[in-house]
Structure 1
């Protein structure tokens, strides 16, 4: 993972097997650098910090909330942001499918386009090394 390029490089058997655009942490939510290992994988995951407050019938009452900063409106429930093909690399930091606008826009996670997240997920196992550099 090269933050300055907003690109992920996937190696298999020491050979480059794939390259994908990514979106990493925006200002104030940096993606940590270093050597990590995938510690958990989950096909269909939802954030427990970021998402939307919705009515009991599913109507969005407030979008793009951080449950630590935004109060829940009366009668609302929290629906976490979708994080399909989640691969945890460092505490709350994960690689997952998401919007990739071409610049850092996440809360620290590494977002991949849906089709590339699926490929990475299918080919990486728990224990796979992930290196993040500037």
Structure 2
């Protein structure tokens, strides 16, 4: 698996239909406009047991400030973290706590619960299936992709 910290965006590539390609083996995202490469970014996709599914999809929803409804933390009413990195489907909520979903800024829903969003990108698959981009690149991809943008996820 190749990893690069190199991310870039070409503002001079204008017009054309946007298309995003996610390469799972390279852990890279490529943003095209009208067939021309406009930018690229490292990503972190699904770890073992939570693999990011390959296929061709379309962005179905976008939200600047989104929180996960599956993964996050159980916190006290005053905000103190009582239990971190929980999955609400498996981890019991401590009495008196509330669920605070993990931050997923610049969320672009791709396939059911699978989304592209800003997050930690360590250089290898580490997510619960989502496609994490560095914050600055998630913001750029979000600004240039619209609902309906084609997303190809290749092995």
RMSD: 0.4
Distance 2:31 2:145 in 1: 9
Match of 1:4 among 1, 14, 25: 25
Where does the alignment leave 5 or more consecutive residues of structure 2 unmatched? 1-21
Correspondence for 1:36: 57
Q: Counterparts in 2 of 1:11-90, with a 5 A limit?
A: 11-90=32-111
Deviations 1:108-129, CA, capped at 9 Å, x for gaps: 0000000000000000000000
Listed as ranges, the matches of 1:118-129 within 5 Å are 118-129=139-150
Gap regions ≥5 residues in structure 1:
none
Does the residue aligned with 2:25 lie in a helix, a strand or coil?
helix
Give 2:114's match in structure 1, choosing from 93, 104, 107: 93
- Looking at structure 2, the residues matched to 125 and 83 of structure 1 have their Cα atoms a distance apart, in angstroms, of 17
TM-score by length of 2: 0.86
CA distance in structure 1 between the partners assigned to 2:119 and 2:81 by the alignment? 19
Per chain length, whose mean CA-contact separation is higher, i.e. which structure has more relative contact order (CA < 8 Å, sep 6+)? 1
Name the counterpart of 1:112.
133
**When the two structures are superposed, what TM-score results if normalisation uses the length of structure 1?**
0.99
**Secondary structure of 2:83's match?**
strand
Which whole-Å deviations, capped at 9, do the CAs of 1:83-120 have from their partners, x for residues lacking one? 00000010000000000010000000000000000000
Alignment partner of 2:142: what SS? helix
Displaced runs of 4+ in structure 1, greater than 2 A? Answer: none
Which of the two has higher C-alpha Rg? 2
- The structural deviation recorded for 1:29 is 0.2
Task: Give the distance between the partners of 1:116 and 1:31, measured in 2 at CA.
Answer: 19
- What CA distance in whole angstroms lies between the structure 2 residues aligned with 1:6 and 1:110? 9
